[in-house]
Amino acid sequence: TEMERYCIGCGAKLQTTDPKAAGFLPAAALAKADPEGDIYCQRCFRLRHYNEVADVSLTDDDFLKLLNAIGESDALIVNVVDIFDFNGSVIPGLHRFVGKNPVILVGNKADVLPKSINQKRVTNWLTQQAHAQGLRPIATMLTSAKNGQMVDELLETIEEYRDHRDVYVVGVTNTGKSTLINRVIKQLTGVSDLITTSRFPGTTLDRIEIPLDDGQSLIDTPGIIHRNQMAHYLGAKDLQLVSPTKPIRPTVFQLNPEQTIFLGGLARFDFVHGQRNGFTVYVDNQLMLHRTKLENADAFYEKHAGGLLTPPQADEMGDFPELVRFEFTPKEKSDLVFAGLGWIVIPAGQTVAGYAPKGVDVLMRKALI
Ligand code: GDP
């Protein structure tokens, strides 16, 4: 005999017969559930794990409507970016969409930064980078959704600036927004109607609302796809390279001009001319770095991409875009960024070139470290 139980997500009475109706849960899942514990219907369970919330593209009409709607409402905005891929996680023009609404900038994945790094410096750097994009956050924080670092402080900061308004969380995919929201849900547990979902007015996009104790909500918005992310060119087994799970251990190469370093087969760095110098590489510890002579580098890549130089794997070479070259001579110490993959610190006055798969950005920025 089945006792009456209710979904902690939507409050619907749980049932095992009609998958299309509210409160459905497969009988087997219900049988396995802790009789005393919280339980979710299948729909809420999936929403909690976010598999069912569609990602949208940056130019998606519904997404632009959504941003406009957020700008027109009186709300606090939390913009989650990936500290490891700042440029790949910026929402272009966000400052125009948010209007007068205050923005808290959250640099997530702080745990991947080298242990020795000064967090305050990174926070300042992040704020400067935001300013360069026209965004003027009222607060900038470094979090790790993975290990919970600064998540309590983020909630406190949200409370501090919220002023009885709704909170919208926005971010592009892969920044860890879902992981962060799940952390937040955990911290706020105890509220009975944990999650409700609805559509953004005038769009096909779902939102997830987490009730706050004054009747307002924290609202998760769909992840936005940045088509220039390196992640789009990696197979499932290589994805961890663009989302490191351990603190990065930088590698220093002492290079003479006309030397090349391959970052697996994904990217390439040429020291074109300048003086012998140390170049520090910040990429996932698993990514193989291979040094060679510049004059042989084209032929080397031709021969070894998908073999000695992986990823891409041999069977992915067919679809893998050609590498495109960008040359720079920074006036001050700078990072040569391979969007999503990492960066190489370039001493002032050296001429270098970075190559990435066509469609993935290579750029120079003020040195992070
Ligand atoms: P979303 O697309 O923005 O919702 O991102 P997800 O929450 O799905 O996370 C994308 C990837 O980043 C996953 O592989 C996560 O495990 C990883 N991730 C999320 N947060 C963190 C974090 O704080 N640190 C690290 N190292 N990885 C994270």
Question: pLDDT of 151-193, one tens digit each?
Answer: 999 999 999 999 999 999 999 888 988 889 888 877 776 444 5
Cβ–ligand 1 distance for 197 under 6 Å, the answer no
| H or E segment to which residue 87 belongs | helix 86-89
Could you read off the pLDDT of 325-364 as tens digits, one per residue? 999 999 999 999 999 899 999 999 999 999 999 989 899 9
Instruction: From the CA of 55, give the closest atom in ligand 1.
Output: 2
pLDDT digits (tens, 9 = 90+) for 310-319: 999 999 898 8
CA of 243 to the centre of ligand 1 (A): 7
Where are any strands of DSSP class E within the chain?
56-57, 75-82, 103-108, 139-142, 166-171, 196-199, 206-211, 217-220, 224-225, 251-255, 259-263, 267-273, 277-283, 289-293, 323-328, 334-338, 342-346, 351-357, 362-366
Which residue has a Cα nearest atom 20 of ligand 1? 176
Substitution candidate for ligand 1 out of 243, 246, 286 with most atoms within 8 A of CB: 243
Q: Report the candidate in 141, 167, 163, 162 with the shortest Cα–Cα distance to residue 152.
A: 141
Ligand 1 centroid to residue 282 C-alpha, Å: 19
Q: Report pLDDT for 232.
A: 77
pLDDT per residue as tens digits for the range 85-95 = 898 888 888 99
CA-closest residue to ligand 1 atom 14: 243
Cα dihedral 126, 128, 129, 130 in deg (nearest 10): 90
Q: What pLDDT is stored for residue 37 in this prediction?
A: 79
Q: Is the pLDDT of residue 27 over 90?
A: no
Ligand 1 pocket test, candidate residues 143, 173, 179, 234, most atoms within 8 A of CB: 179
Atom of ligand 1 nearest to the CA of 80: 3
Interval between CA 174 and ligand 1 midpoint (Å): 6
Q: ipTM higher than 0.95?
A: yes
Average pLDDT of every residue of the chain: 88
Higher pLDDT, 214 or 112: 112
CA 159 to centroid of ligand 1, rounded, Å: 24
Q: What's the pLDDT score for residue 194?
A: 60
For residue 101, the model assigns a pLDDT of 96
pLDDT level of residue 297 (50, 70, 90 thresholds): very high
Separation of CA 82 and ligand 1 centre (Å): 9
Q: Could you tell me if the CB of 171 is within 6 A of ligand 1? A: yes
Which DSSP state fits 184?
A: H
Q: Measured from the CB, is residue 88 less than 6 Å from ligand 1? A: no
Residue 8 has pLDDT above 80, yes or no: no
Question: Would you state the structure tokens that stand for residue 271, as one six-digit string?
Answer: 């020291």
**pLDDT over threshold 70, residue 224:** yes
pLDDT per residue as tens digits for the range 95-138: 988 989 999 999 999 999 988 889 999 999 999 999 999 999 99
Q: Which of 152, 186, 225 is nearest to 48 (CA)?
A: 186
| Closest residue by CA, ligand 1 atom 17 | 176
- CA-wise closest residue to 313 among 266, 357, 355: 266
The pLDDT confidence band at residue 1, using thresholds 50, 70 and 90, is: very low
* Ligand 1 contact, 173 CB (< 6 A): yes
CA 14 – ligand 1 centroid, Å: 31
Pick from 223, 228, 276, 285: nearest CA to 253: 276
Ligand 1 mean position, distance from CA 215 (Å): 29
Give residue 189's pLDDT. 60
pLDDT tens per residue, range 29-46: 888 888 777 788 776 666
Is the CB of residue 111 below 6 angstroms from any atom belonging to ligand 1?
Answer: yes
Q: What's the average model confidence in pLDDT over 41-67?
A: 70
Cβ–ligand 1 distance for 107 under 6 Å, the answer no
Q: Is 177 in the pocket of ligand 1 (CB under 6 A)?
A: yes
* Cis ω before 312 (30° cut-off from 0): yes
CATH class of 56-225: alpha beta
| Domain range list for the chain | 1-49, 56-225, 232-366
Task: Write down the pLDDT at residue 48.
Answer: 59
| Interval 230-271: pLDDT, tens | 877 888 788 888 878 899 999 999 999 999 999 999 999 999
Ligand 1 atom 26 nearest Cα: 245
pTM recorded for the entire structure: 0.82
Please give the number of the atom of ligand 1 that sits closest to the Cα of 145: 23
